[in-house]
Structure 1
Amino acid sequence: MSDTNNAPAVDLSDYVAKSSSEKRSIIKSLFLGHRGKTKEQLDYEKVWATIHDAFENEWRNPHFSLLIQALADSGCVVDVNSHVVVKSCGDESGLLGSFNHERNQIEICQETFANARLKNMRRLMQTTLSHSMIEAFDHCRANVDASNPAHDMCIAIRAAALSGQCTADGQRLNKVQLASSRRGFQTCVLEKAVQMFLHKNPTWDMPKTENLIRQVFPTCFNDHSPHDRLPYDETQAKLSHKAYLSRNRYDV
């Protein structure tokens, strides 16, 4: 994990041989308003600021808020300072984040978020965290074996379905539009799950992957926990969150 206190210093080796643009970049990072911090340090701070903003405004996202509470209720409280880390995933990875089962930590990819030029960074971060929190929830509540391809695919399906990354906005829909929305949601879940699975299992080919997803998809797609329904649009996500909050209201 990068750290703003010990991130690598600016590379001044062979300074004379560097191009003019490289020299200007070095001078700027050292002296012009960045208090001597490198780009890596500034990017790290930017990503962490987005993470803290996501948690401070968790109530704005029903998927994210529900999962924070569900994990706490399961005895697996998420502490942002010990269970979330910012790390280098490689400039070419394109990854947003993942859950490390061995370390029980959510890993957020520094390069992807630092280089993103999206309007709603908080929402993207909350969705990314929610995706990993589904993995954390399954890790907490069940004996999940991440090395088992069937378990891995099931996690990928549930994470895509319950994190909000495939959720449509909560507009009023007629029956035809509603059916179309649900089909689109299922298609998105399939695509995201396969993408996530193949990234973790690069030796698998598509025929073998398709055969596996046909075996596990019905069961895993219909396992909504901790939701009480499939949150295929924003309205359903909010209703699910409301139902979760009132689920144990009258327990003694």
Structure 2
Amino acid sequence: MAAPMNDHATSAMPSETAEKDERTESSQSNIDKRSWNERRKHLNCIERADFACKHNPYVKFMLVAMEQIGCPVDLDTHIVCEPCASDSPVNGGFDPVNGQIVLCENKSPSQRILSTLLTHELIHAYDHCRAKVDWTDIRHVACSEIRASSLSGDCSFLSDSLYSWNFRFKNHHQTCVKRRAIGSILAVRDVSREVAEKAVDDVWETCFKDYAPFTCIPRRPADLKSASHDQSHDQKTAFPPKR
């Protein structure tokens, strides 16, 4: 309980009190506004993730693929939206310990970006299920990053030309995949660029050609119709043997 004011204490002048009240109201308004914006971003992320799972052909394809290899995705528990540090280089990630895909709710400003991000992370989840990836082995990380960058749409014309301004027609896809895979490794591993580049180069030939669960690099929804979810991918993976 607050102590009573001392009889000789100096009280604030009316004008000072008014200014203090205005500052308090302004501060509270900013807090309320920030909280509302944060809630809105969270709800937007959830709504976009739900829409992607129901309507995006690539996300839907990956969800079916996950179920067919014995790792069904529960949308309520395996896909979560969380705020990420504004200076973080990542927009989301796959958490192999908790079996969750984390989407940065403050870094997914459009349905297209979130759908591509979700496809990317679902490929990591697929690799984790079918290949028993050792996420402490940088070669395994490199392999999954190559596959996710190549197969998710990260390096499509719209994604790479509009969002990174690095589009080049000649050998664009391979160049983009390597660049993004190296960047992803550097974002999540405390290694030098030289080490990241070597890891990507070491596994490039086999991992870039591993299209599972697709039959080719899916450049348009029509490519999904000919793709098959082959259980044999469980035995034939591009991931190098564990050390």
TM-score, with normalisation over the residues of structure 1? Answer: 0.72
- C-alpha offsets along residues 94-151 of structure 1, whole Å, 9 cap, x if unaligned? 42211000001100112212xx3xxxx2221111011000110011111211111110
Q: CA 1:85 to 1:27, structure 2 compared with 1: closer, same or farther past 3 Å? A: closer
Q: CA 1:150 to 1:17, structure 2 compared with 1: closer, same or farther past 3 Å? A: farther
Question: How far is 1:17 from its partner?
Answer: 8.8
1:101 and 2:96 correspond: yes
Between the aligned partners of 1:42 and 1:101, the Cα distance in structure 2 is: 28
1:197 and 2:185 correspond: yes
- Equivalent in the alignment of 1:79: 74
- Equivalent in the alignment of 1:32: none
Unaligned 5+ segments in structure 2 are 1-19, 159-167, 232-243
- Equivalent in the alignment of 2:9: none
- Equivalent in the alignment of 2:139: 150
- Equivalent in the alignment of 1:242: 225
Contact residue 90 and residue 187 of structure 2 kept, 8 A: no
Question: How far is 1:64 from its partner?
Answer: 2.2
Between the aligned partners of 2:114 and 2:68, the Cα distance in structure 1 is: 23
* Percent sequence identity over aligned pairs: 28
Between the aligned partners of 1:142 and 1:77, the Cα distance in structure 2 is: 16
Which one is further off, 63-72 or 187-196?
63-72
Contact residue 65 and residue 213 of structure 2 kept, 8 A: yes
Q: CA 1:24 to 1:222, structure 2 compared with 1: closer, same or farther past 3 Å? A: same
- C-alpha offsets along residues 129-181 of structure 1, whole Å, 9 cap, x if unaligned? 11000110011111211111110111110110111111237xxxxxxxxxx75
Counterpart amino acid of 1:98? G
Aligned structure 1 segments of 4 or more residues deviating by more than 3 angstroms: 15-24, 26-29, 245-248
Unaligned 5+ segments in structure 1 are 1-14, 30-36, 170-179
Contact residue 96 and residue 108 of structure 1 kept, 8 A: yes
Question: How far is 1:229 from its partner?
Answer: 1.2
Between the aligned partners of 1:142 and 1:79, the Cα distance in structure 2 is: 20
1:56 and 2:54 correspond: yes
Contact residue 94 and residue 112 of structure 1 kept, 8 A: no
Instruction: Describe the SS at the equivalent of 1:76.
Output: coil
Structure number, greater radius of gyration:
2
1:1-252 to structure 2, matched below 5 A, reads 18=23, 22-26=27-31, 38-59=36-57, 63-113=58-108, 116=109, 121-168=110-157, 181=169, 183-201=171-189, 203-231=190-218, 233-234=219-220, 238-239=222-223, 241-244=224-227
* Number of positions where the alignment pairs a residue of Structure 1 with one of Structure 2: 203
Counterpart amino acid of 1:160? S
Instruction: Describe the SS at the equivalent of 1:106.
Output: strand
Contact residue 168 and residue 181 of structure 1 kept, 8 A: no
Contact residue 83 and residue 105 of structure 2 kept, 8 A: yes
Instruction: Describe the SS at the equivalent of 2:106.
Output: helix
Q: CA 1:27 to 1:69, structure 2 compared with 1: closer, same or farther past 3 Å? A: closer
Between the aligned partners of 2:103 and 2:80, the Cα distance in structure 1 is: 6
Q: CA 1:122 to 1:39, structure 2 compared with 1: closer, same or farther past 3 Å? A: closer
